[in-house]
Structure 1
């Protein structure tokens, strides 16, 4: 049993962006993928990059430093979830003991403590790496429900250089898939989170066995652009087998976005952890369909449902 008796394996997907004016890498995409090791049934949990007061597990030295969550004096931006990867190694070098990547281990602990589940492994991909991986699998197909900006900066008043136009079943190459996932101009973080989740689902759809075999060389080359992962090489074959199970299984998602129950500036982590526990419980969950913590089927939530422009 490559999974050591675990019913689920939890992999943290991180999208890293150095960006202009930034010190080191900030993980602007944070998605925990929880996979049933038998059936391949998968639930994705998307966390906002600006989530504050991230929790650390009680047995972590970081919990001793931040018992009330990750916060402190100074610029609030240094205490967002996306800053942990760079800030913890800078502020507390060596605090986690032997580590090949302190930033990654710190954000793994932050996600684990905040969601109340273990984080087994992580994969951190930079922007170029993401683009090349999508190109290596021949692109992805997504539904685009409203124009998505390419480049541009809303705060600085810099307009986009173009748009991905709305339409069903749009096949995107790596460049356009990258902007579909990360385009910010005229949209908010939560719209980006929805698109990122749909991007992951589209990659699952595109990565069929024939594609993986025929494009092996391109994938190996693109894989070199992955910044880091702590998945042991000996587990890679098991993950490949499990990925094929995931492709044929149900994929659901929970996006933690602003609602009457969730606010990224001061999250109710008891509710967050209860939501995660319910989403991973095999029995059908009860409750109203408009419950903000209710898992959604990835396919139906990524369906073509164009947004009507407001005048």
Structure 2
């Protein structure tokens, strides 16, 4: 219907107004684009926000949340230690690190693509691509290394700390109370020639490390491999089998099969399962022998394959010791085979794995007691080299070596507590006592009552035990590792 005056009808209004979008922002120069990209690399998401993408707020929020998770572990390093001994979580962490890096690299590249100037010369385009690539590579290196460390640690924990079934470890320990209320934890350090999985090896190095669980103050007791008549605790089934000590009732028996270093192989062969279910009956038997002989509890053991010791020392970067007299390399006294060389005397000698092995094992021209004392010095030298920075720097090699040469019954859940205690031990001076041949000690017929008095006095110096004179002075070896050259002709 027409209106009066012939006026035309006005056009209809559009239902929706056109939405005007603000154009996304770009940098005017290549330097500006790279600056925005670096900002987005440091704080992922901020580069998106600068270009006008709201997605940047979500990315930035996710990044801050990730920082919060990292901070949760960093603020209490014990949480990080707990994580370090959980193989499944470590493998998950390695995957997460890979995913996070890929996501980060994607945001960096896309930030640059969105922020770069609309028009650039070929040189500028090439330069921008090179800078962004280098930025991603620089971050990729630590990301990949971290993922490798997590995977390596997971494999090490699963291989060495596999919660070995044992009959002699404490049963009253938990992650909350790792020492079961005890003031000291005692770990038996064993060195044997042979694979750690073999049962027929001989433990030629026997050292008990007793650590104060509160202060880390420690004492090492070295026992000779040829000690006879090792005792067993009165409440041990082995005491019933050997009431007079580890000896044979056959006068014609080979004495070599009844020394301390033969307990590991002989007891499981003679009395299998006598201590109960165990994956390493030999280690359980040696723990009992040391406990009965010294009159202390022995909680755990750590066995190292001496044939792989060379690789361990090389992995840690060598050790530094004082050499007081010529030490033979190779050679067999019994067979009349002379050494092929010698370690020459000198202070603060840095030894690689090969020479460290012979420093610990060389017997040509010396006896078991001298070798035992050098082994004690080698333990101390390894402790000195095992600072956190050096261990972390060489961790890949150390872990791979450790998987092959170490075996222990320390429960996995207690390892964070042991790491914490080890750091305390490193901050203190480790005292050392060795039972060497003297007018008070003979490995062929040990006076175990005297030995136990020595141990008690060493562990409780403020409460002297009988006899009143300090018998420990005869076997104190705290300074044996110092430089005291022996006046002897050099071979």
TM-score (norm 2): 0.60
> How far 1:310 moved relative to its partner?
6.0
Q: How does 1:102-117 map to 2 (within 5 A)?
A: 102-117=281-296
Aligned partner of 1:193 in structure 2 is: 372
> How far 1:291 moved relative to its partner?
3.1
Pair 1:212-2:394 in alignment:
no
Aligned partner of 1:2 in structure 2 is: 178
- The answer to whether the 8 A contact 2:193-2:307 is kept is no
Q: Please give the per-residue CA displacement for 1:268-305, whole angstroms capped at 9, x wherever unaligned.
A: 10000111000000428674698314x443xx321111
Pair 1:252-2:431 in alignment:
yes
- Structure having the larger proportion of residues in strand: 1
> Separation in 2 of the partners of 1:70 and 1:25?
17
- CA RMSD across the alignment: 2.0
Pair 1:36-2:36 in alignment:
no
Aligned partner of 1:57 in structure 2 is: 233
Q: Secondary structure of 1:249's partner?
A: coil
Of residues 75, 87, 93, the one that matches 2:254 is 75
Aligned partner of 1:292 in structure 2 is: 474
- The answer to whether the 8 A contact 1:144-1:167 is kept is yes
> Separation in 1 of the partners of 2:273 and 2:471?
46
Pair 1:182-2:361 in alignment:
yes
- The answer to whether the 8 A contact 1:128-1:225 is kept is no
> Separation in 2 of the partners of 1:136 and 1:231?
23
- The answer to whether the 8 A contact 2:458-2:472 is kept is no
Aligned partner of 1:156 in structure 2 is: 335
- The answer to whether the 8 A contact 1:125-1:225 is kept is no
Higher-Rg member (1/2) = 2
Q: Please give the per-residue CA displacement for 1:149-182, whole angstroms capped at 9, x wherever unaligned.
A: 1110111110111111110000011111111011
Q: How does 1:221-240 map to 2 (within 5 A)?
A: 221-240=400-419
Aligned partner of 2:347 in structure 1 is: 168
Unaligned ranges ≥5, structure 2:
1-176
- CA change 1:231–1:289 in 2 (3 A) is closer
Q: Which has the higher contact order (CA 8 A, sep 6+)?
A: 1
Q: Please give the per-residue CA displacement for 1:125-157, whole angstroms capped at 9, x wherever unaligned.
A: 112332222112111100000111111011111
> Separation in 2 of the partners of 1:180 and 1:284?
37
Q: How many residues are paired up?
A: 306
93-102 or 126-135, larger mean C-alpha shift: 126-135
> Separation in 1 of the partners of 2:203 and 2:366?
19
Q: Secondary structure of 2:473's partner?
A: coil
Q: Which runs of 4+ in 1 moved over 6 A?
A: none
> Separation in 1 of the partners of 2:470 and 2:299?
32
> Separation in 2 of the partners of 1:264 and 1:89?
23
- The answer to whether the 8 A contact 1:41-1:251 is kept is yes
> Separation in 1 of the partners of 2:351 and 2:477?
24
- CA change 1:183–1:34 in 2 (3 A) is same
31-40 or 224-233, larger mean C-alpha shift: 224-233
Q: Secondary structure of 1:28's partner?
A: strand
> How far 1:203 moved relative to its partner?
0.7
- The answer to whether the 8 A contact 2:457-2:463 is kept is no
Q: Please give the per-residue CA displacement for 1:72-131, whole angstroms capped at 9, x wherever unaligned.
A: 121111100000000111111111110110100000000000000011100111123322
Aligned partner of 2:312 in structure 1 is: 133
> Separation in 2 of the partners of 1:182 and 1:163?
12
> Separation in 2 of the partners of 1:214 and 1:227?
20
- CA change 1:109–1:42 in 2 (3 A) is same
Pair 1:265-2:444 in alignment:
yes
